[in-house]
Chain A
Amino acid sequence: AQSVTQLDSQVPVFEEAPVELRCNYSSSVSVYLFWYVQYPNQGLQLLLKYLSGSTLVKGINGFEAEFNKSQTSFHLRKPSVHISDTAEYFCAVTGSNDYKLSFGAGTTVTVRA
Protein backbone atom coordinates (compact mmCIF):
# COMPACT_ATOMS: atom_id res chain seq x y z
CA ALA A 1 0.00 0.00 0.00
CA GLN A 2 1.10 3.53 -0.69
CA SER A 3 1.92 6.00 2.06
CA VAL A 4 3.33 9.49 2.39
CA THR A 5 5.47 11.16 5.03
CA GLN A 6 5.38 14.90 5.51
CA LEU A 7 8.71 15.80 7.02
CA ASP A 8 7.72 19.03 8.77
CA SER A 9 4.76 19.40 11.10
CA GLN A 10 5.08 23.18 11.48
CA VAL A 11 6.62 25.74 9.13
CA PRO A 12 6.70 29.38 10.26
CA VAL A 13 7.58 31.84 7.49
CA PHE A 14 7.63 35.60 6.98
CA GLU A 15 5.39 37.26 4.44
CA GLU A 16 6.93 37.47 0.93
CA ALA A 17 9.53 34.81 1.78
CA PRO A 18 9.67 31.49 -0.09
CA VAL A 19 8.36 28.28 1.44
CA GLU A 20 8.94 24.59 0.77
CA LEU A 21 6.89 21.77 2.25
CA ARG A 22 8.46 18.36 2.02
CA CYS A 23 6.66 15.14 1.16
CA ASN A 24 8.15 11.70 0.57
CA TYR A 25 6.13 8.77 -0.70
CA SER A 26 6.58 5.07 -0.30
CA SER A 27 5.63 2.83 -3.19
CA SER A 28 7.26 0.55 -5.71
CA VAL A 29 4.55 1.01 -8.31
CA SER A 30 3.18 3.91 -10.28
CA VAL A 31 1.65 6.56 -8.07
CA TYR A 32 -0.44 9.65 -8.38
CA LEU A 33 0.35 12.47 -5.97
CA PHE A 34 -1.69 15.36 -4.65
CA TRP A 35 -1.39 18.41 -2.43
CA TYR A 36 -4.43 19.72 -0.59
CA VAL A 37 -4.84 22.86 1.52
CA GLN A 38 -7.16 23.30 4.49
CA TYR A 39 -7.92 26.84 5.63
CA PRO A 40 -9.18 27.29 9.19
CA ASN A 41 -12.60 25.78 9.77
CA GLN A 42 -12.94 24.56 6.20
CA GLY A 43 -12.69 21.31 4.27
CA LEU A 44 -9.76 20.39 2.06
CA GLN A 45 -9.22 21.99 -1.34
CA LEU A 46 -7.08 20.55 -4.14
CA LEU A 47 -3.94 22.62 -4.81
CA LEU A 48 -2.34 20.49 -7.51
CA LYS A 49 -1.79 16.93 -8.66
CA TYR A 50 0.79 14.85 -10.48
CA LEU A 51 -0.54 12.10 -12.73
CA SER A 52 2.14 11.73 -15.41
CA GLY A 53 4.24 13.76 -17.82
CA SER A 54 6.12 16.87 -16.74
CA THR A 55 7.62 16.51 -13.31
CA LEU A 56 6.97 20.16 -12.47
CA VAL A 57 3.33 20.71 -11.66
CA LYS A 58 1.74 24.11 -11.27
CA GLY A 59 -1.31 24.61 -9.11
CA ILE A 60 -3.57 27.30 -7.80
CA ASN A 61 -2.53 30.35 -5.78
CA GLY A 62 1.04 30.34 -7.15
CA PHE A 63 2.03 26.94 -5.73
CA GLU A 64 4.05 24.37 -7.63
CA ALA A 65 5.45 20.94 -6.85
CA GLU A 66 8.17 18.76 -8.32
CA PHE A 67 7.87 15.00 -8.69
CA ASN A 68 11.22 13.29 -8.15
CA LYS A 69 11.04 9.57 -8.76
CA SER A 70 14.63 8.80 -7.77
CA GLN A 71 14.16 10.49 -4.40
CA THR A 72 10.49 9.45 -4.07
CA SER A 73 9.58 13.01 -3.22
CA PHE A 74 6.89 15.50 -4.14
CA HIS A 75 7.81 18.79 -2.46
CA LEU A 76 5.52 21.81 -2.60
CA ARG A 77 6.93 25.31 -3.12
CA LYS A 78 5.83 28.89 -3.34
CA PRO A 79 8.32 31.67 -4.14
CA SER A 80 6.56 34.38 -2.11
CA VAL A 81 3.89 33.69 0.51
CA HIS A 82 1.06 35.88 1.73
CA ILE A 83 -0.67 36.06 5.07
CA SER A 84 -3.62 34.31 3.42
CA ASP A 85 -1.47 31.21 2.81
CA THR A 86 -1.67 30.43 6.52
CA ALA A 87 -3.27 26.98 6.50
CA GLU A 88 -2.63 23.28 6.89
CA TYR A 89 -1.26 21.44 3.88
CA PHE A 90 -1.66 17.74 3.17
CA CYS A 91 0.22 15.52 0.77
CA ALA A 92 -1.68 12.48 -0.53
CA VAL A 93 -0.97 9.46 -2.73
CA THR A 94 -2.88 6.80 -4.59
CA GLY A 95 -1.98 4.06 -7.02
CA SER A 96 -3.53 3.29 -10.36
CA ASN A 97 -6.89 1.49 -10.15
CA ASP A 98 -7.26 2.52 -6.51
CA TYR A 99 -10.26 4.37 -5.17
CA LYS A 100 -8.57 5.67 -2.08
CA LEU A 101 -6.16 8.43 -1.18
CA SER A 102 -3.69 8.04 1.68
CA PHE A 103 -2.83 11.29 3.42
CA GLY A 104 0.17 12.52 5.31
CA ALA A 105 -0.04 13.96 8.81
CA GLY A 106 -0.14 17.53 7.53
CA THR A 107 2.11 20.60 7.70
CA THR A 108 0.87 23.75 9.36
CA VAL A 109 2.15 26.89 7.65
CA THR A 110 1.98 30.11 9.62
CA VAL A 111 2.81 33.27 7.70
CA ARG A 112 3.85 36.29 9.78
CA ALA A 113 4.05 39.91 8.73
Chain B
Amino acid sequence: DVKVTQSSRYLVKRTGEKVFLECVQDMDHENMFWYRQDPGLGLRLIYFSYDVKMKEKGDIPEGYSVSREKKERFSLILESASTNQTSMYLCASSSTGTPANYGYTFGSGTRLTVV
Protein backbone atom coordinates (compact mmCIF):
# COMPACT_ATOMS: atom_id res chain seq x y z
CA ASP B 1 0.00 0.00 0.00
CA VAL B 2 1.05 3.54 -0.70
CA LYS B 3 1.97 5.39 2.41
CA VAL B 4 1.96 9.11 2.84
CA THR B 5 3.56 10.13 6.10
CA GLN B 6 3.24 13.53 7.71
CA SER B 7 5.91 14.17 10.29
CA SER B 8 3.71 15.61 13.05
CA ARG B 9 0.12 14.89 14.10
CA TYR B 10 -0.15 17.91 16.36
CA LEU B 11 1.88 21.09 16.35
CA VAL B 12 1.66 24.28 18.41
CA LYS B 13 3.58 27.33 17.21
CA ARG B 14 3.76 31.00 18.13
CA THR B 15 2.68 33.87 15.92
CA GLY B 16 5.53 34.98 13.68
CA GLU B 17 7.43 31.69 13.77
CA LYS B 18 8.56 29.99 10.59
CA VAL B 19 6.88 26.60 10.42
CA PHE B 20 7.81 23.56 8.36
CA LEU B 21 5.34 20.75 7.67
CA GLU B 22 6.91 17.67 6.15
CA CYS B 23 5.33 15.02 3.94
CA VAL B 24 6.96 11.86 2.58
CA GLN B 25 5.48 9.26 0.23
CA ASP B 26 7.00 5.86 -0.51
CA MET B 27 5.49 4.86 -3.87
CA ASP B 28 7.39 7.00 -6.34
CA HIS B 29 4.38 9.22 -7.05
CA GLU B 30 4.99 12.20 -9.30
CA ASN B 31 2.25 14.46 -7.96
CA MET B 32 2.04 15.82 -4.43
CA PHE B 33 -0.43 18.23 -2.87
CA TRP B 34 -1.00 20.30 0.25
CA TYR B 35 -4.54 21.08 1.40
CA ARG B 36 -5.91 22.76 4.46
CA GLN B 37 -9.16 21.56 5.99
CA ASP B 38 -11.47 23.85 7.92
CA PRO B 39 -14.98 23.13 9.22
CA GLY B 40 -17.65 24.02 6.68
CA LEU B 41 -15.08 24.81 3.99
CA GLY B 42 -13.92 21.32 3.05
CA LEU B 43 -10.43 20.94 1.63
CA ARG B 44 -8.77 23.86 -0.09
CA LEU B 45 -5.68 23.44 -2.23
CA ILE B 46 -2.64 25.45 -1.12
CA TYR B 47 0.11 24.24 -3.46
CA PHE B 48 0.88 21.24 -5.59
CA SER B 49 3.86 19.78 -7.38
CA TYR B 50 3.98 17.46 -10.36
CA ASP B 51 7.74 16.97 -10.44
CA VAL B 52 10.88 17.58 -8.44
CA LYS B 53 11.59 21.30 -8.08
CA MET B 54 8.27 22.12 -9.76
CA LYS B 55 5.44 23.80 -7.91
CA GLU B 56 2.18 25.50 -8.72
CA LYS B 57 -0.12 27.66 -6.65
CA GLY B 58 -3.46 26.31 -5.65
CA ASP B 59 -6.50 28.28 -4.54
CA ILE B 60 -5.11 29.76 -1.32
CA PRO B 61 -1.29 30.12 -1.56
CA GLU B 62 -0.96 33.41 0.34
CA GLY B 63 1.26 33.09 3.40
CA TYR B 64 2.64 29.72 2.31
CA SER B 65 5.50 28.39 0.24
CA VAL B 66 6.64 24.87 -0.65
CA SER B 67 9.76 22.94 -1.40
CA ARG B 68 10.28 19.74 -3.35
CA GLU B 69 13.95 18.88 -3.59
CA LYS B 70 13.39 15.12 -3.77
CA LYS B 71 10.60 13.19 -5.42
CA GLU B 72 9.37 11.59 -2.22
CA ARG B 73 9.30 14.71 -0.04
CA PHE B 74 7.07 17.78 -0.24
CA SER B 75 7.39 20.45 2.43
CA LEU B 76 4.92 23.19 3.28
CA ILE B 77 6.39 26.35 4.81
CA LEU B 78 4.55 29.01 6.75
CA GLU B 79 6.90 31.96 6.44
CA SER B 80 5.47 33.84 9.43
CA ALA B 81 2.72 31.92 11.15
CA SER B 82 -0.48 33.73 11.98
CA THR B 83 -3.50 32.68 14.04
CA ASN B 84 -5.66 32.42 10.90
CA GLN B 85 -3.40 29.60 9.75
CA THR B 86 -4.60 27.43 12.61
CA SER B 87 -6.02 24.45 10.72
CA MET B 88 -5.70 20.81 9.75
CA TYR B 89 -3.14 20.34 6.98
CA LEU B 90 -3.39 17.34 4.69
CA CYS B 91 -0.77 16.08 2.29
CA ALA B 92 -1.68 13.82 -0.65
CA SER B 93 0.06 12.14 -3.56
CA SER B 94 -0.99 10.61 -6.86
CA SER B 95 0.60 8.76 -9.73
CA THR B 96 1.61 9.81 -13.23
CA GLY B 97 -0.68 11.80 -15.45
CA THR B 98 -3.90 12.68 -13.73
CA PRO B 99 -5.43 11.61 -10.43
CA ALA B 100 -8.48 10.40 -12.30
CA ASN B 101 -7.27 6.86 -12.69
CA TYR B 102 -5.78 6.49 -9.26
CA GLY B 103 -7.26 8.99 -6.89
CA TYR B 104 -5.22 10.59 -4.17
CA THR B 105 -3.58 8.89 -1.23
CA PHE B 106 -3.71 11.07 1.86
CA GLY B 107 -1.55 11.36 4.94
CA SER B 108 -3.12 11.39 8.40
CA GLY B 109 -2.91 15.16 8.68
CA THR B 110 -1.16 17.69 10.90
CA ARG B 111 -3.31 19.75 13.22
CA LEU B 112 -1.50 23.07 13.58
CA THR B 113 -2.40 25.58 16.25
CA VAL B 114 -0.85 29.04 16.10
CA VAL B 115 -1.02 30.96 19.38
Contacts and interface: CB of A to CB of B under 8 A. Distances in A.
B50 interface: yes
Given A34-B103, A43-B106, A43-B107, A96 B98 contact: yes
The number of chain A residues touching the other chain, given as a range, is: 20 to 34
A42 B109 contact: yes
Interface of B: 4, 31, 33, 35, 40-45, 48, 50, 58, 90, 92, 94, 98-101, 103-104, 106-109
A44 interface: yes
The 10 A-B residue pairs with the shortest CB-CB distance in the complex, in nearest-first order: A43-B106, A32-B100, A103-B43, A105-B42, A44-B106, A103-B42, A43-B108, A46-B103, A106-B42, A43-B107
Interface of A: 6, 9, 32, 34, 36, 41-46, 49, 51, 90, 94, 96-106
B40 A9 contact: yes
26 contacts: A9-B40, A42-B108, A43-B106, A43-B108, A43-B109, A44-B43, A44-B104, A94-B98, A94-B99, A96-B100, A97-B98, A98-B99, A98-B100, A99-B31, A99-B48, A99-B50, A99-B94, A99-B98, A100-B33, A100-B99, A101-B99, A102-B45, A103-B35, A103-B42, A103-B43, A104-B42
B86 to A, nearest CB: 17
